[in-house]
Amino acid sequence: METDTTDLIARARAGDHNAFRDLVQGHSHELQVHCYRILGSLQDAEDALQETLVSAWRNLGEFGQRSSLRTWLYKIATNRCLSMLRADNRRPRIAPLLPEATRPKPDGPGDAPPWLDSAYAQGDGLILS
């Protein structure tokens, strides 16, 4: 198993996309759950996982194997999630409320819309609330 991982890392460092996929495939679901627990949103967790894997791909050459690949991926994912939370705190969560619109009430038959004038003319006796 250790030899397989070492071989996959070497192949992925050489640019083998399939080797990288095989390397991280077993960790993807647990990393997504980890991100979900931090972020509380499935969509944000999926984004964080995607960014984690892109970062891992780009920085695989810096992985010194002092720790396990799983630990290294968790560190990247945790840092990505914390960055997302910090960025989220800088943005307003709820859009500011718009002022309430007031509709003018018709004072007489000439102020009402044409379809309403015709209803009055026909004697339908519509009641506006």
What confidence tier does 36 reach under pLDDT thresholds 50, 70, 90? very high
Q: Which domains does the chain have, with CATH numbers?
A: 2-90 (1.10.1740.10)
Which of these ranges, 16-20, 21-25, 113-117, has the smallest mean pLDDT?
A: 113-117
Residue of 61, 87, 2, 74 lying closest to 31 (CA atoms) = 74
pLDDT for the residue 67:
85
With residue 17 as reference, give the H or E element that holds it.
helix 17-39
The two tokens of residue 52 are: 């984690």
Residue 2, pLDDT > 90, answer no
Which of these ranges, 18-22, 49-53, 65-69, has the smallest mean pLDDT?
A: 65-69
Count of CB atoms within 10 A of residue 100's CB?
5
